[in-house]
Amino acid sequence: MQRANSPDHSPSIFERADRVLPGGGFGNFDPGIFIARGKGSRVWDTEGKEYVDFLIGSGPMLIGHCHPEVVEVVNRQMQSGQTFFANNPQGLELAEEIVTSVACAEQVRFVSTGGEADMYAMRLARAFTGRDKIMKFEGGYHGMSGEALMSLFPTAPADYPNAIPDSAGIPASVRDNMLIAPYNDCAYALDLIEKHAQDIACVIVEPLQRIVPPAPGFLEALRQATHEHGIVLIFDEVVTGYRLAYGGAQEHYKVVPDLCTLGKIIGGGLPLAAVAGRPDIMVHFDKIKAGADKFTLQIGTLSGNPLASAAGLKTMEILRRPGVYEKIRAHGHTIIAALQEHLSAAGVPHQVVGDPVLFDVVFTDSPVVDYRGSISGDASLEQRFNQLMREQGVLKPATKFYVSLALTANDMDQTLAAIKYSAEHLLSG
Ligand SMILES: Cc1ncc(COP(=O)(O)O)c(C=O)c1O
């Protein structure tokens, strides 16, 4: 945390934040840093320090900050209006591009945040099946609804399939309708589905959970079991959509869910997210076709707003250009190799977990295949590593590296040098 006081005794930005923001911040990230601006692969804090950015706005800025082509279309759209509530051509075009590129997406409903998209996807599954129970995986992140906040970051994990709320203020009735399973444990998941099949509306899963990739056959097994029992399979692709591949995790892993949720990249850095999927499920958003009893009400002031749609469409156009994903993956591979090399040389127990587009180090000797594995690492080493990286001008989320297309050779040199330095100084602090 950097908390310099102003030399003229006026309150520092941190003191001002402590006064008006609970916890001194927005609740998202370390309140000890305020980002003033970003350009390409880099951000600058309010004290003028420059960083190579692996936070990338928690994922949306895959092509870098202020990409000139995105800025141009957003500026142009600003001349024609920010938001209308009514349908607009940019939103329609974005929906068409999602339908073209995402395997499960035959229809699209826009919302403003990934968490909203997940909440509606779960509700839609309940409307479609007439069942109440939701199965999710321990450590799976699906926004901030009551359901999503069950066994998200439990510090004292319960016995499966019991859920633990991660937040105050959620009625017990929400918990009672949840079934929690360990990610990547096929046998457990299939058994749970078998036992509760008549009550389960949906299985919701991050196809790559946080940074943990699916074990071979895991997603396929979920697909088959949910199909057999008429359970809706929801892939939360808020992170993986347009990142693991243009068509998301469902393209990358070749498993197609019934519904998916998208966010982050599709809004090009502006607030926009979506539920997409099979028309016989999406029809519940249509009052006339679904009928009053089965209708799932969904309205949002900013849903599908044209600025975010324009930014998302241009971002996606850039991602479709030749070599883009190869470049992002190549950078990820290089960083992963450097982490392995330098942490091994320094004798630090570690696992690099993830995919080249999205990964991190877990400071443990044991392979990490689920949530309990991912919290088994040495948290103080993790914190110190992140701090050393930050001191070397590399900004990353607490438990991720998000690789961006904007990284230059210079950024890579600085990042690799920071990794070497941090590995060498990790145990001496
Ligand atoms: C997998 C996943 N789903 C849903 C969300 C929620 O998205 P939002 O923060 O836009 O509500 C996130 C946010 O990081 C996420 O990582």
Ligand 1 atom at minimal distance to the Cα of residue 59: 14
C-alpha 232 – ligand 1 centre gap (Å): 20
237 lines ligand 1 (CB under 6 A): no
- Pocket test of ligand 1: the residue of 55, 58, 239 to mutate, having most ligand atoms within 8 Å of its CB, is 239
141 lines ligand 1 (CB under 6 A): yes
Distances (CA, A) of 228 to 103, 116, 224: 20, 28, 6
First to last CA, the chain: 16
140 lines ligand 1 (CB under 6 A): no
Distances (CA, A) of 396 to 8, 58, 150, 203, 355: 32, 9, 26, 31, 16
Structure pTM?
Answer: 0.97
Strands 50-53 and 394-395: parallel
Annotated active-site positions, please? Answer: 141, 236, 264
* Residue 158: per-residue pLDDT: 83
* Residue 428: per-residue pLDDT: 87
C-alpha 237 – ligand 1 centre gap (Å): 9
Whether 153 contacts 166, CB under 8 Å: yes
C-alpha 426 – ligand 1 centre gap (Å): 31
330 secondary structure, DSSP code: H
- Pocket test of ligand 1: the residue of 116, 141, 399 to mutate, having most ligand atoms within 8 Å of its CB, is 141
Q: Which residue has the tokens 């909203």?
A: 116
Whether 87 contacts 95, CB under 8 Å: no
pLDDT in tens, the chain (429 residues): 445 556 678 999 999 999 999 999 999 999 999 999 999 999 999 999 999 999 999 999 999 999 999 999 999 999 999 999 999 999 999 999 999 999 999 999 999 999 999 999 999 999 999 999 999 999 999 999 999 999 999 988 789 999 999 999 999 999 999 999 999 999 999 999 999 999 999 999 999 999 999 999 999 999 999 999 999 999 999 999 999 999 999 999 999 999 999 999 999 999 999 999 999 999 999 999 999 999 999 999 999 999 999 999 999 999 999 999 999 999 999 999 999 999 999 999 999 999 999 999 999 999 999 999 999 999 999 999 999 999 999 999 999 999 999 999 999 999 999 999 999 999 986
* Residue 4: per-residue pLDDT: 54
- The β-bridge partners of 51 are 43
Residue 177 DSSP SS3: coil
Q: Torsion angle, CA of 18/19/25/27, rounded to 10 degrees?
A: 110
* Residue 8: per-residue pLDDT: 73
C-alpha 117 – ligand 1 centre gap (Å): 9
Ligand 1 atom at minimal distance to the Cα of residue 118: 4
Q: Which CATH architecture has domain 68-319?
A: 3-Layer(aba) Sandwich (3.40)
What gap in Å lies between CA 120 and CA 118, rounded to an integer? Answer: 5
In 3D, which of 421, 361, 359 has the Cα closest to residue 213? 359
* Residue 429: per-residue pLDDT: 64
Is the sign of the CA dihedral 7, 9, 10, 11 positive or negative? Answer: positive
Ligand 1 atom at minimal distance to the Cα of residue 273: 10
Tokens of 16: 């001002």
What gap in Å lies between CA 201 and CA 179, rounded to an integer? Answer: 11
Burial class for 156, CB neighbours closer than 10 Å (0-12, 13-18, 19+): exposed
Ligand 1 atom at minimal distance to the Cα of residue 112: 10
Characterise 246 by phi-psi region: left (phi > 0), alpha (psi -120 to 50), beta (else): alpha
What gap in Å lies between CA 388 and CA 373, rounded to an integer? Answer: 24
Predicted confidence (pLDDT) per residue in 223-244, tens digit: 999 999 999 999 999 999 999 9
* Residue 9: per-residue pLDDT: 80
Ligand 1 atom at minimal distance to the Cα of residue 264: 10
Whether 262 contacts 237, CB under 8 Å: yes
- The residue extents of the domains of the chain are 68-319, 323-355+362-396
Residue with the smallest CA separation from ligand 1 atom 8 is: 114
355 lines ligand 1 (CB under 6 A): no
C-alpha 344 – ligand 1 centre gap (Å): 33
What gap in Å lies between CA 251 and CA 247, rounded to an integer? Answer: 5
C-alpha 340 – ligand 1 centre gap (Å): 28
